[in-house]
Chain A
Amino acid sequence: MINLAWLVPVLPAIAFVIIIFLTRRLQMVSALTSILAMAGSFIISLGIVFEVLAGPVTMDNPVELSARWLEVPGSVFIQAGVLIDPLSAVMLFVVTFIALLVMIYSIGYMKGEPGYSTFFAYLSLFSCSMLGLVVSNNYFQIFMFWELVGLCSYLLIGFYYHKDSASQANKKAFITNRYGDFGFMLGMFFLFLLFGTFNFRELAAVIPSYTNEALLTVVALLIFVGPIAKSAQFPLHVWLPDAMEGPTPVSALIHAATMVAAGVYLLARGFVLFESATTALIIIALIGGFSSIFAASIGLVQRDIKRILAFSTMSQLGYMVMAIGLGSITAGMFHLTTHAFFKALLFLGAGSVIHAVHTQDIFEMGGLSKKMKVTTWTFIIGSLALAGIFPLAGFWSKDEILLTAANAGEYFGIPILGPIFLILGLSVAFMTAFYMFRLIFVTFFGEEQPGSHAHESPAVMTVPLIILSVFAIFSGFIGTPFTPNGFAEWVYYGEPHHPHPNYGIMIMSTVVALAGIWLAWLIYGKRAISAEMLANRFSTIHRILYNKYYIDEIYLWLFDRVMLGIADACRWCDRKIVDGIADGFGDGIRAMGARMRFIQTGNMQNYALVIFVAVVIIALVLAVPVLGGI
Chain B
Amino acid sequence: MGDFPILLTIVLAPVIGALVILFIPEKDERLIKITAAIATFVSLVLSVYAYLVYDKTAGGFQFTQDFVWVERFGINLSLGVDGMSLPLVLLTAIVIFTGVFASWDMHSRVKEFFIFLLVLVAGVFGVFVSRDLFWFYLFFEVAVLPMYILIGVWGSTRKEYAAMKLTLYLLVGSAFALIGIIALYVYAKAQLGFGTFDIMTLGTVEFDEAFQKFAFFLMMIGFGFLVPMWPLHTWSPDGHVAAPTAVSMLHAGVLMKLGGYGLIRAGVFLFPLGAKYWAPLIAVLCIVNVVYGARVAMVQKDLKFVIGYSSVSHMGYVLLGIASLNYMSLDGAVAQMFAHGIMTALFFALVGNVYHKAHTREIAAFGGLAHQMPRVASGFLIGGLASLGLPGLNNFVAEALIFLGSWQVEKVLFGWLHFRVLSILAIFGVVITAIYVLRVVQRVFFGPRNPKWDHLTDARGVEMVPIVILIGVLVLFGIFPSLLIDTINVGVGPLVAKISAAAEIGGVF
**What residues make up the interface of A, taking CB atoms closer than 8 Å to B?**
68-76, 140, 143-145, 147-148, 151, 158, 161-164, 166-168, 171, 174-175, 178-179, 181-182, 185-186, 189, 192-193, 563-564, 566-568, 570-571, 573-574, 578-579, 581-582, 586
Contacts and interface: CB of A to CB of B under 8 A. Distances in A.
B442 interface: yes
Interface in B420-447: 423-424, 427-428, 430-431, 434-435, 438-439, 441-442, 445-447
A167 B427 contact: no
Contacts of A563: 298, 435
A578 B231 contact: yes
A579 B292 CA distance: 14
Q: Which 7 residue pairs spanning A and B have beta carbons closest together?
A: A167-B446, A144-B391, A570-B295, A567-B298, A567-B295, A178-B434, A161-B446
B328 interface: yes
A167 B390 contact: no
B296 interface: yes
A85 B481 CA distance: 28
Given A72-B485, A171-B442, A570-B292, A162 B368 contact: yes
Contacts of A582: 165, 169, 234
A453 to B, nearest CB: 27
Contact of B427 (A68, A162, A185): A185
A127 to B, nearest CB: 15
Contact of A151 (B390, B404, B423, B439): B390
Interface of B: 165, 168-169, 230-231, 233-234, 292, 295-296, 298-300, 326-328, 331, 368, 370-371, 385, 388, 390-392, 396-397, 400-401, 403-405, 407-408, 423-424, 427-428, 430-431, 434-435, 438-439, 441-442, 445-449, 481-482, 485-486, 489, 493
B489 A76 contact: no
A230 B430 CA distance: 17
A182 B427 contact: yes
Nearest to B288: A570
Nearest to B434: A178
A571 B296 contact: yes
A573 B482 CA distance: 41
Given A567-B299, A570-B295, A571-B299, 5 more contacts: A71-B489, A73-B327, A148-B392, A189-B423, A192-B407
B391 A189 contact: no
Given A147-B391, A178-B431, A168 B234 contact: no
Contact of B296 (A144, A174, A185, A570): A570
A148 B442 CA distance: 19
Contact of B447 (A148, A167, A579): A167
Given A182-B428, A578-B231, A171 B438 contact: yes
B298 A182 contact: no
B326 A75 contact: yes
Contacts of B234: 574, 578-579, 582
23 contacts: A72-B485, A74-B327, A76-B328, A148-B392, A161-B447, A162-B448, A166-B446, A167-B442, A168-B442, A171-B441, A175-B431, A175-B434, A181-B430, A185-B427, A186-B424, A566-B295, A568-B299, A570-B292, A570-B296, A574-B234, A574-B296, A578-B230, A578-B234
Nearest to B407: A189
B366 to A, nearest CB: 13
Given A74-B327, A144-B391, A193-B408, A586 B168 contact: yes
A143 B391 CA distance: 9
Contacts of B482: 68-71
A162 B371 contact: yes
Given A570-B295, A571-B299, A72 B331 contact: yes
A166 B446 CA distance: 9
Nearest to A172: B438
Contact of A564 (B292, B299, B431, B438): B299
A150 to B, nearest CB: 9
A592 to B, nearest CB: 16
A415 to B, nearest CB: 39
A192 B404 contact: yes
B322 to A, nearest CB: 16
Contacts of A163: 448
A189 B424 CA distance: 10
Contacts of B368: 162
Given A167-B446, A174-B434, A178-B430, A564 B298 contact: yes
A567 B313 CA distance: 13
Nearest to A185: B427
Contacts of B231: 578, 581
Contacts of B327: 72-75
A161 B326 contact: no
A221 to B, nearest CB: 15
Given A70-B481, A144-B392, A151-B390, A161 B493 contact: no
B447 A164 contact: yes
Q: Name the residue among B168, B435, B439, B449 with the largest chain A CB count within 10 angstroms.
A: B435
A567 B296 contact: yes
B430 A182 contact: yes
Contact of B448 (A71, A164, A568, A573): A164
B438 A174 contact: yes
A589 to B, nearest CB: 10
Given A74-B327, A568-B299, A162 B447 contact: yes
A129 to B, nearest CB: 9
Nearest to A578: B231
Nearest to A151: B390
A118 to B, nearest CB: 10
Contacts of B328: 72, 75-76
A181 B434 CA distance: 12
A164 to B, nearest CB: 5
Contacts of B408: 193
A144 B87 CA distance: 24
Contacts of B427: 182, 185-186
B435 A175 contact: yes
Nearest to B478: A144
Contacts of A166: 446
A143 B371 CA distance: 33
